[in-house]
Structure 1
Amino acid sequence: MKIVSYNVNGIRARADRLAEYLAEQQPDIVCLQELKCADEAFPAADIEAAGYRAVWHGQKGFNGVAILSRGDTAPTLRRMGLPGDPDDSHSRYIEAEVDGTIVASIYLPNGNPVGTEKFAYKLAWFERLRLHAADLLREERAVVLAGDWNVIPTPEPDDVFSARAMAKDALMQPESREAFRRILHQGWTDAIRARHPDGPVYTFWDYTAGCWQRDAGFRIDHLLLSPIAADRLADAGVDKDYRGREKASDHAPTWVRLEA
């Protein structure tokens, strides 16, 4: 079972790239982030034409998450949005079950600029995710938390091309990293680092300053596995080449493969 996290940076703008990826790689489950479209504008017919069914949680112009599964059966929706703040209007979390595996698609707040209410919202959202992640672990099921976490876990060169360049960014603040570690330390496995413990692994390259051409990227797309899912870990990686295609997202599809 190949499970992919893919921030598409606008599903309508990247429709051709997404269809291309689904046709060429045929992943079993795809967790999408940053749809940037309202629920009624989600291209469900195009997804079905590609051989997938979907559940989604959209928002006009911003955010938005979805889970796709290959075949004729749609993912079984478990929840949209995190518990803990019923007034939260951001579409950043969706959770479903596919073939006995619980999968969440996560688009964590960016948090910039630091020192504003946006950074406070990021940390509060992180805490709500931590509490829900603990509840998921208590189910003792195979669970995959996949998405754009907007956090760079470790310094250069492993997870970021330049710690100095990102020093003031919300993605690399000590509070952001600590929030990520608090979730990991519940008992989750970082799939990418479990398979590639050393050396640079990047999942995002900005459109500006020739970042892609210089390989000036960083790792912010993560797939965390519950202990039962981690026992099934066969491989994990980044389909990096897709970032270099015409009109690509600034994120590359990041994936984990679990044994049946």
Structure 2
Amino acid sequence: MLWKVATFNVNGVRARLDRLLAWISEQHPHVLCLQETKCQDAVFPRQALEALGYEVLVKGEKSFNGVAVLTQETPESVVMETGDPLLDREARFLAVQVQGVWVINTYVPQGRSPDDPAFQYKLDFLNQVGRWIQERFSPQDLLIWTGDINVAPEAIDVYDPKRLEGEVGFHPEERAKLKEIMAWGLVDLLRRLHPQAKQFTFWDYRLPKSFDRNLGWRLDHMLVTEPMAHRCAECFVDTGPRGQSKPSDHTPVVAVFDMSSLS
């Protein structure tokens, strides 16, 4: 059985619903993690997504942040609130267990600038995600941490590493923090399968023609334990949605797993 998991920062789910529905109908992910939905739960377009055959879990807030997970199969477990005041402060964390696999969807804070208190909030949020994972799982478990993680891990993951060094999203402290978390036993799927690919997932609106010029960042990730990496048939970035009119500034990342190899 091939099992498809995707992540997509939609930057406003209601504003881009038609494009999202079209993409889902084309790709048919079994699990889809959305970030930056920017709406309260009561006005989330649940019915339109349920009509495509999905169960819909949402954690939103008005105008900002927001995460959702869509699943074709009924989740065995759901974590809407972690009990951690930092992780639960805003609508940024939602985890589900589907087909025996834990999928953790995060919208990590952007951080604003290195001298802003929001940057420390970002580092603390990353640290708490890592702690939450390590306290509940082992590297041998079936686990996916995905979403807009807002960190470009390596020089190959930004369009101009020399100029962008030290900027939020490519700052040494946040890269080191992500590396520390991953050292527990997480694999960067895209980099594992495509070690030399200069493939981005985000192109800033504020930079003129950033997408056309491919002036991007790889901020959206599929980070998995080794048992999931072993089962991965493919991981790719679908740039199609970013090239459409009035797109999100992000584009989806998709991973396909061969779950028939489960022992």
TM-score normalised over the length of structure 2: 0.92
* Selected match of 2:20 from 18, 21, 36: 18
Seen in structure 2, the aligned counterparts of structure 1 residues 86 and 173 have a Cα distance that, compared at 3 Å, is closer
Q: For residue 198 of structure 2, what is the aligned residue in structure 1?
A: 200
* Selected match of 2:70 from 68, 87, 94: 68
Shift of 1:82: 4.2
Shift of 1:117: 1.1
**CA–CA distance in 2 between the matches of 1:207 and 1:115?**
23
Q: In the alignment, is the contact (CA less than 8 A) between 2:77 and 2:98 conserved in 1?
A: no
Q: For residue 214 of structure 1, what is the aligned residue in structure 2?
A: 213
Shift of 1:87: 8.4
Deviations 1:132-191 (A, max 9, x none): 121343284211111000001011xx2000124423421111110011101111110101
**CA–CA distance in 2 between the matches of 1:86 and 1:144?**
21
Shift of 1:78: 2.4
**CA–CA distance in 2 between the matches of 1:31 and 1:114?**
28
Q: In the alignment, is the contact (CA less than 8 A) between 1:206 and 1:250 conserved in 2?
A: yes
Seen in structure 2, the aligned counterparts of structure 1 residues 87 and 216 have a Cα distance that, compared at 3 Å, is closer
Q: For residue 3 of structure 1, what is the aligned residue in structure 2?
A: 5
Q: In the alignment, is the contact (CA less than 8 A) between 1:55 and 1:74 conserved in 2?
A: no
Q: For residue 247 of structure 1, what is the aligned residue in structure 2?
A: 246
* Selected match of 1:180 from 157, 162, 178: 178
State percent identity of aligned pairs. 34
Shift of 1:124: 0.8
Residue identity in the other structure for 2:217:
F
Q: In the alignment, is the contact (CA less than 8 A) between 1:78 and 1:96 conserved in 2?
A: yes
Residue identity in the other structure for 2:191:
R
Shift of 1:53: 1.3
Residue identity in the other structure for 2:129:
L
Q: In the alignment, is the contact (CA less than 8 A) between 2:77 and 2:96 conserved in 1?
A: yes
Mapped pair 1:166 → 2:168: no
Q: In the alignment, is the contact (CA less than 8 A) between 1:54 and 1:75 conserved in 2?
A: no
Residue identity in the other structure for 1:5:
T
Deviations 1:184-210 (A, max 9, x none): 111101011011011301111112311
* Structure 2 gap segments, 5+ residues each: none
Runs of 4+ that moved beyond 4 A: none
Residue identity in the other structure for 1:97:
Q
**CA–CA distance in 2 between the matches of 1:225 and 1:249?**
25
Q: In the alignment, is the contact (CA less than 8 A) between 1:133 and 1:183 conserved in 2?
A: no
Q: For residue 142 of structure 2, what is the aligned residue in structure 1?
A: 142
What SS does the corresponding residue of 1:170 show, helix, strand or coil? coil
What SS does the corresponding residue of 2:33 show, helix, strand or coil? strand
